[in-house]
């Protein structure tokens, strides 16, 4: 599983975490029911956002059922979104088509194991099956997956071109996410939400693309692989500024939505996306990524240039940490070593696994 939005029960309090896992498990089981066991490999955290958005607008189109025990749930049964839910089907369609495009991209670039002829052949067959399956389920709910396949193809062309801007590079992702987000308004019978969902998708797509680039920056630079920041001369500081702007736009768009059940959507898109931005840029700063950024003179964003050696934490008052509902973020608690976990208080993936409580953590991350 992968993606930007990766909450745990320490931040999604009460029923919200259960609601989120209902969509996560629902997507996984929908992929299995519609396309076979192997399709569950494309389950990802961000894909299920369209399922969340659809139910938030109209719960009547998102029936639930009780699923049997699963090893990933420690052999517990659970309430999950049913495979007949149109939002779950849209999430499955999007996940399958984008995963197929990603595999084809790896095969074309001969990345890692994909350079082996047999691996590439097998991956190509799987990609063909997943794309066909995604197109079929998309057509059944009125979603034209061509917007996704076109975005994948256009992304590859842009990456092979020179002289492009960062906005050019992120545009295909923004377009694809906007189309998927906007379609939820049609499935839910809320056409008035289409415009803000288009904007929300555009901002989320930009954030997702930039965070992926930031996370891969060091490895891509070492291997000489393509990276949007390196290709466009964008510094990590500038990427952080773009993410901050996009996060503000995302929150404004979410605030305009007419939702029957807004709590989970607001917690994920307004709160958890901000946590992801904070986590990734904090990690880059701790790894020294900001210190070597061209044009910053070694000063990370938010530092006081007049106090050499005394940088102010640029994320202490970062805009992305201002969740729309502060009650959704847990207070800090002691790690047991005298340090404080500033993100969730209990460790897990959200704070890098540094807390002692991680060994006894009961959350899915």
Query: What's the rounded Cα separation, in Å, for the pair 333 and 180?
Result: 38
**Position of tokens 């880059």?**
284
Is the model more confident about 36 or about 355?
A: 36
Q: How do residues 246-268 score in pLDDT, each as one tens digit?
A: 999 999 999 999 999 999 999 99
Burial of 309 (0-12, 13-18, 19+ CB in 10 A): exposed
Which tokens hold the place of 133? 């399956």
Contacts of 177 (CB under 8 A, 6+ apart): 201, 202, 204, 205, 208
Residues in the chain: 365
Which tokens hold the place of 294? 């061209």
Q: Which of 338, 360, 339 is nearest to 348 (CA)?
A: 360
Which tokens hold the place of 228? 């949007």
Contacts of 246 (CB under 8 A, 6+ apart): 203, 204, 206, 207, 210
Q: Quick check: helix, strand or coil at residue 298?
A: coil
| Confidence band for 168, pLDDT divided at 50, 70 and 90 | very high
Task: Tell me which range, 67-76, 288-297, 324-333, 349-358, is most confidently predicted by mean pLDDT.
Answer: 67-76
Q: How do residues 207-227 score in pLDDT, each as one tens digit?
A: 999 999 999 899 889 888 889
Cβ count near 179 (within 10 Å): 22
From the options 3.40.50.720, 1.10.600.10, 1.20.970.10, 1.10.287.110, give the CATH code of 15-291+325-330.
1.10.600.10
pLDDT of residue 290: 57
Judge whether 331 and 10 are in contact, CB under 8 Å.
no
């Amino acid at each position: 599983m992968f993606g930007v939005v990766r909450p745990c029960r320490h931040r999604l309090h009460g029923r919200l975490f259960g609601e989120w896992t209902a969509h996560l498990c629902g997507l996984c089981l929908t992929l299995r029911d519609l396309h076979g066991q192997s399709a569950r490999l494309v389950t990802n955290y961000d894909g299920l956002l369209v399922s969340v958005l659809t139910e938030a607008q109209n719960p009547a189109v998102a029936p639930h059922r009780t699923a049997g025990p699963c090893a990933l749930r420690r052999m517990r049964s659970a309430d999950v979104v049913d495979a007949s839910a149109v939002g779950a089907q849209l999430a499955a369609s999007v996940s399958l088509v984008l995963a197929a495009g990603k595999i084809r991209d790896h095969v074309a670039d001969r990345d890692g194991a994909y350079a082996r002829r047999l691996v590439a052949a097998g991956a190509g067959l799987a990609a063909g099956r997943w794309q066909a399956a995604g197109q079929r389920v998309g057509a059944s709910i009125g979603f034209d997956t061509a917007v996704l396949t076109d975005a994948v193809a256009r992304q590859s062309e842009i990456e092979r071109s020179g002289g492009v801007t960062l906005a050019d590079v992120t545009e295909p992702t923004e377009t694809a996410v906007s189309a998927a987000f906007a379609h939820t308004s049609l499935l839910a019978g809320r056409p008035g939400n289409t415009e803000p969902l288009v904007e929300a998708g555009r901002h989320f797509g930009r954030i997702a693309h930039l965070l992926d680039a930031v996370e891969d920056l060091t490895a891509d630079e070492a291997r000489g692989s393509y990276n949007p920041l390196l290709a466009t001369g964008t510094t990590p500081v500038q990427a952080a500024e773009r993410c901050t702007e996009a996060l503000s736009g995302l929150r404004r768009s979410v605030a305009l939505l007419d939702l029957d059940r807004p709590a989970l959507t607001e917690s994920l898109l307004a709160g958890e996306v901000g946590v992801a931005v904070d986590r990734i840029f904090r990690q880059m700063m701790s790894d020294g990524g900001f210190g070597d950024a061209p044009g910053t003179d070694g000063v990370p964003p938010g530092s006081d240039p007049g106090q050499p050696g005394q940088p102010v934490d640029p994320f202490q008052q970062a805009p992305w940490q201002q969740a729309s509902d502060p009650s959704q973020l847990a207070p800090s608690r002691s790690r047991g070593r005298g340090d404080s976990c500033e993100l969730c208080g209990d460790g897990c993936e959200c704070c890098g696994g540094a807390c002692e409580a991680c060994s006894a953590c009961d959350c899915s991350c």
